[in-house]
Amino acid sequence: MDFFNTFRGRLLVILLVLLIATLGVQFYLNLRTQNENEQLRELQEQTIVAGIALGVSGITSSEYMQDLIDQPDQTFLDAAARERIRDVIIINNSWQITDSLNPDLLPDTEDDGTVTFKNLSDLTDLPQLMEGSRIGADADKFPNRRTDTSRASDDEAHAVPIETSKGRYYVMVLLKNDKRAAAWRAAQPLIYTLGIVLASTLITFLLVWRFTRPIANLSNAAYEVAGGNLSVRVYDDKRTDEIGQLAQNFNEMVAELEKTRELEEQLQQREKLSSIGLLAAGVAHEVNTPLTGVSSYTQMLLGMLPENDPKHALLEKVRRQADRATDIVNNLLNFSRTGSATEFSAINVNRVLDDTLQLLEPQLRRSQIQVVREYGDGLPDIHGNSVKLQQVFTNLILNARDSISNGDGRITLKTGNGEDGQVVVEVADNGVGIAPEHVAKIYDPFYTTKGVGGGTGLGLAVTYGIVQEHSGHISVASTPGQGSTFRITLPTNDPRSRMKAAVR
C-alpha cells in the first residue's frame, strides 16, 4: 500500500502542511509588522528633518515659520508631515522662544516697539525630550528633559542645536504620537500569533475528531457485539486506509459470528425436533390403536341411535373430540417423519402455490380472505418435494387466515429470485401479527398462541423441519396489529445452488 494512502501517512502530511502553513503565516505577519514599523520610523525621521529644516529657515529668515509654510509653493512640510508635527519651536541662546507654529508662544510686541519673549522654562505642557543625553549639559535647561520620575506622554520632542552668529540656537520639533496605535502595533504580532495558535488548535481538534471517530464507532460496535447484538455494522466505505480495512474486517467478523450463531440455533432446533420426533412417533403409535377403536365404536353407536335421542348429541361430541385427537396423532406422525428419506425432483414453486390455493380456496372464500398473487416470472425450478412443500404452504396460509380477525383480510403470496441463485417465497397477511416475545418460540413443538382448542402447536414445527430438509431457510417479520410476513428461501435445482445452501 502506498504510504500516503495510509492513516499514518495522511496524518503526517496534514501535520506537515499545518506546520508549514503556521510558520508561513507567522513569517508573513512578522515581515508585514516589520515593514510597517520601518515605514513609520522612516516617516518619523522625514518629519523630524522637515521640522528642523523649517526651524533653520525660521532662524535665518525675517518671517515667522507659519508665514513660510502658508506660502503656496513652500516645500518644507507636506500633508503627512503637517499631520504628524504638533509644533516647531525656535529657542535662542537666552533660552527664550523666538518663533513657534503655536501663535500663543510667539513674542509679544508692545506699543513702544519693545519685544517680549516667552521663556522656555515657563512651558509646562511640553512632551518628553528624547535626545537629552546627546545635547549634554544644555538638557538641564529643557523643562521636558527625560528623568527617572518624568511621566511618559503620548507625544515626543526632538531638539537639535544650531550654531549661529548670535550663539547656539535650538530647534525643537514636537511630534504627535498615538501610544494606543503604537501599543496596537506592538500587540499585533502577539494577537496574530494567538490567532494562528487558536486556528491550529481548532484544525488539530477537527483532525483528531475526524481520525478518532471511526475508532470510537468501532469501539461502540464492539461493545454492542459483546452485548450479543450481532446485527451491528460499521459503515465507512469511503476510507481505504487502515481504519477502512479495520471496519471492513470487523463487519466480516461480525457477519461470520452471526452466521455461526444462526447455525448453532439451527443445530439446536434440529436436535430438539429430532428428540421430540422420536418421542412423538412412540406416543402416536401407542395412542393411534385405541383412538381408532374409540372413533369406530362411537360411529357405530351413532348409527344405532335416532338423531333426536339426547344420547346422540353426547356421542356426537365424543366423535368430534376423537376426530380432533386423530388429527393430533396424524400431526405427530407427520412431525416424526420430518427428515426421513424424501424423494426430491425439479419442481416449479409457483405451480405448487397454485395447487395449494386450489385446495384451500373454499376455506378462504368462507373466511372472506382475498388472495393476492405476486409471482416472479421465469423463476428456475427448485429442488424439492411438491407434497411436503404443499404442506408447508398450507400451514402458513391457514395460520395467516387464523390471524385475520376482521372482514378485510388479505393474504399475499410473492415469489422471486434471491441471493446465490435461490428462490424466495413470501407469505404475508394483514392480521394481528406476532408479539416480539413469541417470535423466538413459534417453531417449538406444541407451542401455540391460539389458546385451548385452537391448535396443536405442531404446524410451524413441521414447516420448519420440512424447510430445513430442503436445505432452505425460514424467517418471519411481524408487527403486532399490522400483520406478519414469512419468508422462505429454497435452493434451485442447480447443483451449485444446492451446494451453497448445504454449506450455509
CA dist., res. 282 & res. 303, Å (int)? 33
Backbone angles phi, psi at 465, to 5 degrees: -65, -40
The whole-number pLDDT of residue 331 equals 65
CA distance 437 to 460: 16
C-alpha cell at 175: 511630534
User: What is the total residue count of the chain?
Assistant: 504
Q: For the domain with range 339-504, which CATH number is right: 3.30.565.10, 3.40.50.300, 3.40.190.290, 3.40.50.920?
A: 3.30.565.10
Closest CA to 390 of 341, 357, 364: 357
Task: For residue 503, give every residue at least 6 positions away whose Cβ sits within 8 Å of its Cβ, in sequence order, or none.
Answer: none
Half-sphere exposure at residue 193, Cβ-oriented, CA atoms within 13 angstroms: 8
Closest-CA residue to 425 (of 470, 474, 466): 474
Cell of 206: 477537527
Check: pTM over 0.85? Answer yes or no: no
Distance CA 250, CA 236 (A): 11
**Per-residue confidence of the chain (504 residues) as pLDDT tens digits?**
466 666 667 777 777 887 887 788 778 878 888 888 888 888 888 888 888 898 898 888 888 889 888 888 888 888 888 888 889 999 999 999 999 999 989 998 887 778 889 999 888 888 888 876 778 888 888 888 877 655 666 788 899 999 988 889 999 999 887 767 767 777 777 787 788 778 878 887 787 777 777 777 778 888 888 887 877 887 765 666 667 777 778 888 888 888 777 777 766 766 665 666 556 655 655 566 676 677 777 777 777 877 777 777 777 777 777 776 766 666 666 655 555 556 888 899 999 999 999 888 888 888 888 999 999 988 999 988 888 898 889 889 988 888 887 667 899 999 998 877 789 999 999 988 888 888 877 877 666 666 544 555 667 877 888 888 888 888 899 888 889 999 999 988 776 655 555 545
pLDDT tens for each residue of 2-48: 666 666 677 777 778 878 877 887 788 788 888 888 888 888 888 88
pLDDT digits (tens, 9 = 90+) for 282-307: 565 556 667 667 777 777 777 787 77
**CATH class label, 230-337:** mainly alpha
For the CA atoms of 223, 226, 227, 230, the dihedral, rounded to the nearest 10 degrees, stands at 100
pLDDT digits (tens, 9 = 90+) for 412-444: 999 998 877 789 999 999 988 888 888 877 877
- Cell numbers standing for residue 211: 481520525
What are all long-range contacts of 450-453, with beta carbons under 8 Å and residues at least 24 apart? 450/402
